[in-house]
A and B are shown apart, each in its own frame.
Chain A
Amino acid sequence: MIWYLLRRLAAAAVVLLALSAIVYALFYLSPGDPAVLACGRGCDGERLALTREKLGLDDPVHLQYWHFLEGLVAGRDYSAGPDVDHCAAPCLGYSFQTDQPVTTMLLDRLPVSASLAAGAAALALPLGVSAGLLSALRRGRLTERVMTGVTLLGFATPVFLIGLVLLMVFCAYLQWLPFPAYVPLTESPARWAQNLVLPWVALALIQAAVYARITRAGALETLVEDHVRTFRAYGLRERQVIRRHALRGALIPLITLTALEVAQVMTAAVLTETMFGLPGIGKLTVESVNSVDLPVVVGVTVLAGTVVVVANTVADLLHAAADPRVKLA
């Protein structure tokens, strides 16, 4: 087990390193001038030169990347003569447009994104898993068809369309809810939740559809496995057979598959935040893309890649803990 753990962590570290190198190369060595891209639209010649010097763009490439890594670990200063922008570790870059370290900007927005993701996951997991199980266990009945149909709708609809419809129905037409405007949890938990209900529902519907499909497939697979038959043949109640012997087999793969869905969830979260005007990391990304704030774009991409890698690693470790067979590997 310890070997497995070490190997997984080492592999994750290697992937992260390669990932950061690729992102760095992709954006700082792109045909466009990175100084122009970092400086943003409407940047004059003087500021451009300043930005170029601060970014150290005249250094050799490997040195630039080394400084980037150094910044991640130890923080770095972007300096041009007396003008110094300090960026504390872990430094993902410095936004010259907003005059802030990227890490600070991301941290500022994190609570919003975390609120959205956590709430949606809390809704989506139970909803999706139970819908998937129900449709697998009620195979061939009306329940299955309804569940499959609903799942398909969730699967085929873009999240912003769901969001738009929810806004039209609940805020504009029925007027049951105010138009969402983010209120921090610390300020007023009730209003925090009230404003997040629609985004949660929109994001959760999309995620639940995916979980439902995965769970259904897993359950259908395990329900016909030989060991399930064994316990049926030994007189266990059907409920116990399913709970003890079929569900485990159906849900353990869900750990890994959920992690594989993390990228999809991020996509949906970016769209949801933009749709509902929630000032989270997703909206920040869209804003930086539209204002061409290169350091922020790079920072977000590295962060997103890291989240995917970490999620997969954690899922693999959880999976290894849940499935006794993996330890052999």
Chain B
Amino acid sequence: MSPVLRVRDLRVRFGGFEAVKGVSFDLAAGRALGVVGESGSGKSTLAMSLLRLTEGAETTGEIRAGETDVLAAPKAELRRLRGGRIAMVFQDPLSSLDPYLRVGDQIAEVYRAHTGATRRAARAKAVEVLDRVGIPDAARRARAYPHEFSGGMRQRALIAMALALRPRILIADEPTTALDVTVQAQLLDLLGDLRAATGMALLLVSHDVGVVAGNVDEVLVMRDGEAVEHGPVGTVLRAPRAGYTRELLAAVPRMDAPRTAAPTPGEPLLRVTDLRREFVLGPPLRRRAVPAVDGVTFDVRRGETLGIVGESGSGKSTLARLLVRLLEPTSGRVVFDGRDLAGLPERRLRPLRRDLQLVFQDPGASLNPRRTVGDSIAEPLRVHGEPDPGGAARALMERVGLDPRRARDYPHEFSGGQRQRIGIARALALRPRLLVCDEPVTSLDVSTQAQVLELLTDLRHEFDLTLVFVSHDLAVVRQVSDRVAVMRHGKIVELAGTDALFESPEHPYTRELLAAVPTLDPRIPHGRGGALEAPI
């Protein structure tokens, strides 16, 4: 069977920088190809260049979509190709629809541009495809604006736009990266269904090997603009040939990886009782208190790592900040080592600060861009009047795997992973007893992520730390935690030992979450089988 998309020796160059360096592949009708790679691997540029959407880039090689030579196509033909033959779904569903126009009108507009249908027919078509992608009450929702849709629904709407034109190929560039794991599972299911029903080919671009694994037939691994490995998904995942693929797969946290036995739990170091935090939202006169953390109770035992998982909006980050008293609780108690932090004024809290530290999600934002990293690490020591803060900072840098001679460099001169190491060094400077980590590896590439997690595990023993590890990523939490709490809508729905929770979850929401996690096993298309009543 002749391929619907044939790419040969594709090169994309921005000025002196070659983002894609000679990639070739075929894509047959009804098949799916996954493109995986870390940030900067050129995978998104590759996707964009297939429709000649890379502005200011010089593209060479061959892209053939059916009979069309994409790189040589005149404007009119390119327009027919875009959307009509190859449609695209983008990463950020928040910004990829026009905020000023109704969702249905946007789909109708694109449909009319390609088919010349009447306004009325186009509108009917928009409702039809919105219904097809699982938007409930599509006729009414077609009249809504994008901001009235949730992230998952916006992404469905974009898929509907593609679907209306019956393209031969759908390119999905990180389509689920901005979404929660349960929503992700539903969207991936939708893409699979549509592929089976319409016979269109799918090019799925993702940084997440798990997302690609269960949803494609072939996989192409990219690194620095090159395709380092290309083959059937089962072969690549089970018996990778390229060294880089092996490293990448080894770094992915797995739900089935063996775990070391939990240490014997100590007595509670931190006791949280009925903790609540409300935020006052809305315009004046209509202000209302919205609880972000809605009455949680748990203990953190000396020496253990407590994982806290939840999807966006579950209140887990608010909880992290309440534990170290960056936020003041609305009510409830946070008893650390026998003292209630909840009501303490900042002045009385200050001496206790050295025992409670936080590692932030975004290492870029948590370091002052105007101060050298050595200065930032030494700051807590200086505040507490410790001797030789500079020397201690350099020693800490060395301990977290950084060259202490770089103490005089500024944060922007370091990579994301290095910056997170700096953040950890600063948090450890005062030798805290409790370290709260708020999504510490979320903004990092998977291989960097593995290294930072390893560092945290080492330091935990060396510094005799008690850890609270907050993350949306179940596999990561499973890897590092002794016990895990699952949060939803500001409440803890389940709290249990890690093995117990992952092997025999009791709460239906925990089960739903676990079912939605992508696995590396290509034989299990994830999300299927899990009873997901609620549409996105």
Contact = CB atoms under 8 A, between A and B. Distances in A.
Interface stretch (B84-92, B233-241, B476-484, B501-509): B84-92
Interface stretch (B93-101, B330-338, B345-353, B449-457): B93-101
Interface stretch (A19-27, A82-90, A320-328): A320-328
A328 B286 CA distance: 12
Given A7-B283, A230-B158, A325-B145, A237 B113 contact: yes
Q: Which of B51, B100, B158, B161 is packed against the most chain A CB atoms within 10 Å?
A: B100
A245 interface: yes
Contact of B113 (A7, A236, A245, A329): A236
A256 to B, nearest CB: 15
Interface in B304-356: none
A57 to B, nearest CB: 39
- For this complex, into which size category does the number of interface residues on chain A fall? 20 to 34
Interface string A48-71: 000000000000000000000000
Nearest to B286: A3
A109 interface: no
B109 A235 contact: no
Contact of A233 (B83, B98, B114): B83
Nearest to A233: B88
A234 B82 contact: yes
Contact of B53 (A232, A322, A325): A232
A280 B110 CA distance: 52
A227 B97 contact: yes
Nearest to A236: B113
A231 interface: yes
A236 B110 CA distance: 7
B79 A237 contact: yes
Contacts of B283: 3-4, 7, 329
Given A234-B83, A235-B82, A226 B113 contact: no
B529 interface: no
B263 interface: no
Nearest to B79: A235
Contacts of B280: none
A300 B331 CA distance: 54
A291 B109 CA distance: 63
B259 interface: no
B285 interface: yes
Contacts of B79: 235-237
Nearest to A238: B75
Interface in A211-247: 225-227, 229-237, 240, 244-245
A165 B51 CA distance: 54
Interface in A254-286: none
A248 interface: yes
A252 B82 contact: no
Contact of B98 (A3, A4, A227): A227
B95 A235 contact: no
Contacts of A163: none
Interface string B275-296: 0000000011110000000000
B152 to A, nearest CB: 17
B31 interface: no
A322 B101 CA distance: 10
Contacts of A229: 53, 90, 96
B109 A226 contact: no
B147 interface: yes
B32 interface: no
Contacts of B95: 225-227
Contact of B87 (A231, A232, A234, A324): A234
Contact of A227 (B96, B110, B113, B114): B96
Contact of A328 (B81, B84, B147, B285): B147
B147 A226 contact: no
A230 B87 contact: no
Nearest to B171: A233
A233 B110 CA distance: 10
A226 B90 contact: yes
A231 B114 CA distance: 12
A284 B235 CA distance: 86
B109 A236 contact: yes
B98 to A, nearest CB: 5
B80 interface: yes
B99 A324 contact: yes
A28 to B, nearest CB: 32
Contacts of A234: 82-83, 87-88, 110, 113, 161, 165
Nearest to B84: A235
A227 B100 CA distance: 10
Given A3-B283, A229-B53, A324 B84 contact: no
Contacts of B82: 232-235
A249 interface: yes
Interface in B102-128: 106, 109-110, 113-114
Given A227-B95, A235-B81, A249 B100 contact: yes
A4 B53 CA distance: 40
A208 B505 CA distance: 66
Given A7-B283, A235-B81, A322-B100, 17 more contacts: A3-B286, A7-B284, A7-B285, A230-B96, A230-B97, A231-B98, A231-B106, A233-B83, A234-B87, A234-B110, A244-B101, A249-B100, A323-B99, A323-B100, A324-B145, A324-B147, A325-B145
6 contacts: A227-B96, A227-B99, A229-B90, A230-B96, A235-B114, A322-B100
Nearest first, the 4 A-B pairs at minimum CB distance are: A234-B83, A235-B82, A226-B95, A235-B83
